[in-house]
């Protein structure tokens, strides 16, 4: 069987996903085109050799509409002969892009593919793609007559089900910032972040290289924040919800882009490129769309079974911190080592630029395995409507 290998993985430093954020003045096409151009240039790759570009983007409307992956590769100067497609598996969009790319290599359909992702939450706010419309229709209304709920309420329900109190959520969230700040200070992200020249809020031309979403904070400081999602309607519907999800224990709105260069082991050898990891196993699952954020648990069970590995065989796990209860519930279910869970901080600190997050996590996971000598890394993330992808990579 052909092995699909990762030759390189890069990302932009995060920008706050609101007006005035470091990347908010830059069109999302430019964010994505920058990482596409950089990943081929720094590997001496002729972009004409790329068989496909598969990108993730959640809010495919406005500046992110009309197949942004294709627009971005054209903006990056790739030959017009290179195709691209943009997919939406909600928060796991670019992780799914990596799955599709690697699976295409394994199947023999591709020799070289770039999986990537982008989201500008400052320019295309979350929820914009729905445009105020009913996106469910009669069938959903019949199956779920009380109506589906948004992810913030799901996070509250997970907190209740796994008996996670506010102190636990805030301590985990503060730790995420502390780990990320320590990683920045130690230069742990230097090999994965590529500089981008942008215009800041003051109109100055600057080079952005440091994650803007990381904060100096403590659990005690986070304890003062008010819950975000309690309303009289939801409180009546969910009387057991603890109402403790706040901006401090949630991932912030974020701008970002990332990319992973994937090819067959044979092609890497032919081009004189050194593979850094191989794709070992994949899974994607659906789960309860009300709890919504719990699907990383069955996705992990499935990918471990496919791999023939146990959680103890994994050297690091990246579980996307959409909200603090998600990785905490996951860790509880697997008895996971807290030191291996998001060891450089997670999305609560580093941000969650929706369509970019899948390949961003993969980039950080790969670099951490290399820095520590770990062999196996597992990545999983919750996705809207109750889905999750899980991936195991093996460092080479």
Active-site hit among 34, 208, 280, 352: 352
Give the C-alpha distances (Å, rounded to integers) separating 238 from 157, 227, 386.
8, 15, 19
Residue carrying structure tokens 């932009």: 12
Mapping DSSP to helix (H, G, I), strand (E, B) and coil, where does residue 364 land? helix
Residue carrying structure tokens 């009546």: 236
* Contact between residue 57 and residue 88 where contact means Cβ atoms under 8 Å apart: yes
Please give the backbone phi and psi of residue 150, each rounded to the nearest 5 degrees, phi first.
-85, 170
Active-site hit among 34, 91, 99, 177: 91
Tokens of 210: 């440091």
What value, to the nearest 5°, has the Cα angle with vertex 60 and ends 57 and 63? 105
Q: Is 116 a catalytic residue?
A: no
Q: What is the C-alpha separation between 236 and 146, in angstroms, rounded? A: 12
Tokens of 206: 């600057």
Give the distance, in angstroms, between the CA of residue 344 and the centroid of all CA atoms in the same chain: 14
β-sheet bridge partners, residue 193: 11
* Contact between residue 355 and residue 90 where contact means Cβ atoms under 8 Å apart: no
Percent helix, strand and coil across the chain, each to the nearest 5: 40, 20, 40
Burial class (CB within 10 angstroms; exposed 0-12, middle 13-18, buried 19+) of 373 = exposed
DSSP state at residue 248 = G
Nearest to 357 by CA among 334, 326, 381, 385: 381
Tokens of 329: 């519930």
> Distance between the two ends of the chain, CA-based, in angstroms?
17
Please give the backbone phi and psi of residue 176, each rounded to the nearest 5 degrees, phi first.
-60, -45
Q: Is 57 a catalytic residue?
A: no
* Residues labelled catalytic: 91, 352, 382
């Amino acid at each position: 069987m052909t092995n699909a290998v990762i030759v390189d993985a890069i990302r932009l430093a995060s920008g706050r996903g609101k007006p005035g954020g470091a990347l908010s003045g830059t069109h999302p096409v430019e964010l994505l085109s920058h990482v596409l151009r950089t990943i081929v240039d720094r590997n001496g790759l002729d972009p004409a050799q790329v068989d496909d570009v598969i990108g993730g983007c959640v809010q495919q409307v406005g500046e992110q509409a009309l197949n942004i992956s294709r627009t971005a590769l054209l903006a990056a100067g790739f030959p017009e002969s290179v195709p691209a497609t943009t997919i939406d598996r909600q928060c796991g969009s670019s992780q799914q892009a990596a799955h599709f790319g690697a699976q295409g290599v394994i199947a023999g359909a591709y020799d070289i593919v770039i999986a990537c992702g982008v989201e500008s939450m400052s320019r295309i706010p979350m929820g914009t793609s729905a445009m105020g419309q009913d996106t469910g229709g009669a069938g959903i209304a019949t199956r779920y007559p009380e109506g589906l709920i948004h992810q913030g309420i799901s996070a509250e329900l997970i907190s209740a089900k796994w008996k996670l109190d506010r102190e636990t959520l805030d301590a985990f969230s503060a730790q995420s910032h502390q780990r990320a700040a320590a990683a920045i200070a130690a230069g742990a992200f230097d090999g994965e972040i590529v500089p981008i020249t942008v215009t800041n809020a003051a109109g100055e031309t600057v080079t952005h290289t440091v994650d803007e979403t990381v904060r100096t904070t403590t659990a005690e400081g986070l304890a003062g924040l008010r819950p975000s999602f309690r309303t009289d309607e939801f409180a009546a519907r969910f009387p057991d919800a603890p109402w403790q999800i706040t901006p401090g224990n949630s991932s912030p709105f974020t701008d970002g882009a990332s990319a992973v260069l994937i090819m067959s082991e044979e092609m890497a050898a032919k081009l004189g490129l050194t593979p850094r990891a191989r794709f070992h196993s994949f899974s994607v699952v659906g789960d309860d769309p009300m709890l919504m954020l719990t699907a990383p648990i069955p996705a992990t069970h499935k990918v471990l079974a496919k791999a023939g590995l146990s959680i103890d065989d994994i050297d690091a796990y990246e579980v996307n911190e959409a909200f603090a209860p998600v990785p905490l519930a996951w860790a509880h279910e697997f008895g996971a080592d807290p030191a291996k869970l998001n060891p450089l901080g997670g999305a609560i600190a580093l941000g969650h630029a929706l369509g970019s997050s899948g390949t961003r996590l993969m980039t950080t996971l790969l670099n951490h395995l290399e820095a520590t000598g770990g062999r196996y890394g597992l990545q999983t993330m919750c996705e809207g409507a109750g889905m999750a992808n899980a991936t195991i990579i093996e460092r080479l």
